[in-house]
Amino acid sequence: MLRTKFVAIPALAIALAAFVNAQAPQGQAPAGGQAGQGGGGGAPAQPMATKQVKPNLYMVTGNGGNTTIRVTDQGLIVVDTKNLGEKFYEELMAQIRTVSKAPVRYVFVTHVHQDHSGNIGPFIKAGAQVIANEGLKRNLETGGPKGTGYESPAGKPATPNMTYTKTHKVSVGNATAVAYNFGPGHTGGDTVVHFPDLRVISLGDHFVAAQPNSDYPMGGSVINWAKSLSEILKLDFDTAIPGHGNDPLTRADVQAFQQKMQLIADRGIALVKKGVAKEEIRQQIQSPELGTWQMTGVINDARLDAFYADLTAAAK
């Protein structure tokens, strides 16, 4: 059994250089309509690989968003299900079986995008309870604009067989996992999963090792994203598994990410109060403090109206 040991990555910038996984299958539109959040816009898929993060906790990179595996002798807790499609489910299960033959008891899904939610159906069929925030279920029901990654030739993800509103805890053997929703951020149905005994948190695309984007058509909000990250930082963790990126990151990396999101929110609200036009808002928010983040990627043209409305409401 081949396992790659966790090597700490102290800075988010280093992780960005390693951000080559999570490519969509060739020809598949990126989930959420932007490369980096579930796809490479037609780039070749990267094979899955498993590495140990802490004792009895692993992450699986490649072919979709990162998956977390919590191992106990009574069964497994999994976070996120990779790209939609049987071949991706089988590849993920093969990776899971390299660390444990125990059954998957629970699966948490962090948000609606197919590179994370794709294989809800196969896990349910295999006997797992698949848990997601009620906002994810609504997002699946409403769908999204054509050509933006919410639909594919393979169809769309199945509906989870259990939903929650604010928090939900499960226990398997000696392990506990607690799911939280702190309101809109990347989407309107985000889940983060805390493993308190190991001080690890699995964040989905609420935290990525690259530039984020807020999916306003699916209920996202830059304004609340900064607030939700502040709530997440009240939890006890020292290691964070991002939705995309080849390595686990640190609490300090999450803090740096939150500060950038807060800067965008605060500066955007201040500019709206000054009467800056919608068409100029992203350019004036852009600053060296954002590092490699580009505001035209954080908020693409199709989401500019919703972003401006979000800022305007917060400025009142």
d(CA 22, CA 47): 9
Task: Spell out the alpha helix ranges (H) of the chain.
Answer: 12-17, 86-97, 114-117, 120-125, 134-142, 222-232, 251-273, 278-285, 295-298, 304-315
Picking from 13-27, 101-115, 185-199, which range would have the lowest pLDDT averaged per residue?
Answer: 13-27
Side chain identity at 145, as an amino acid letter? P
Please tell me the predicted confidence (pLDDT) of residue 289.
97
Residue with tokens 């190991």: 198
Q: Is the pLDDT of residue 153 over 70?
A: no
Q: Is the pLDDT of residue 123 over 90?
A: yes
pLDDT tens string 76-119: 999 999 999 999 999 999 999 999 999 999 999 999 999 999 99
pLDDT, mean of residues 127-153: 79
User: What is the C-alpha R_g of the chain?
Assistant: 18
Please tell me the predicted confidence (pLDDT) of residue 275.
97
Asked if residue 213 lies in contact with residue 300, where contact means CB atoms within 8 angstroms, the answer is yes
Confidence of residue 37 (pLDDT cuts 50, 70, 90): very low
Confidence of residue 151 (pLDDT cuts 50, 70, 90): low
Specify which residues 23 forms β-bridges with. Answer: none
Q: Is the pLDDT of residue 145 over 70?
A: no
Q: Which residues contact 207 (CB under 8 A, 6 or more apart)?
A: 229, 240, 242, 243, 249, 253, 254, 257
Residue with tokens 């043209």: 301
Please tell me the predicted confidence (pLDDT) of residue 82.
97
For 77, phi then psi, to 5°, come to -115, 125
Q: Between residues 146 and 293, which one has the greater pLDDT?
A: 293
pLDDT, mean of residues 191-212: 97
Q: Which residues contact 134 (CB under 8 A, 6 or more apart)?
A: 163, 164, 165, 189
Q: What is the DSSP letter of 127?
A: T
Asked if residue 28 lies in contact with residue 156, where contact means CB atoms within 8 angstroms, the answer is no
Please tell me the predicted confidence (pLDDT) of residue 150.
60
Give me 120's structure tokens: 């809800």
Give me 54's structure tokens: 């802490």
CA atoms 206, 199, 58, 140: torsion sign: negative
Q: Between residues 241 and 144, which one has the greater pLDDT?
A: 241
Residue % of the chain over a pLDDT of 90: 80
Specify which residues 194 forms β-bridges with. Answer: 178, 201
Please tell me the predicted confidence (pLDDT) of residue 142.
83
pLDDT tens string 167-183: 999 999 999 999 999 99
Asked if residue 179 lies in contact with residue 108, where contact means CB atoms within 8 angstroms, the answer is yes
pLDDT, mean of residues 257-268: 98
Please tell me the predicted confidence (pLDDT) of residue 144.
58
Burial of 189 (0-12, 13-18, 19+ CB in 10 A): buried
CA angle 193, 150, 213 (to 5 degrees): 60
pLDDT, mean of residues 44-69: 94
- Nearest to 308, CA basis, from 289, 290, 280, 286: 280
Show the domains of the chain with their CATH numbers: 12-250 (3.60.15.10)
- Out of 40-49, 147-156, 259-268, give the one with best mean pLDDT: 259-268
Confidence of residue 247 (pLDDT cuts 50, 70, 90): very high
Please tell me the predicted confidence (pLDDT) of residue 6.
37
Asked if residue 191 lies in contact with residue 108, where contact means CB atoms within 8 angstroms, the answer is yes
pLDDT, mean of residues 213-225: 95
Helix (H, G, I), strand (E, B) or coil at 32: helix
Asked if residue 111 lies in contact with residue 186, where contact means CB atoms within 8 angstroms, the answer is yes
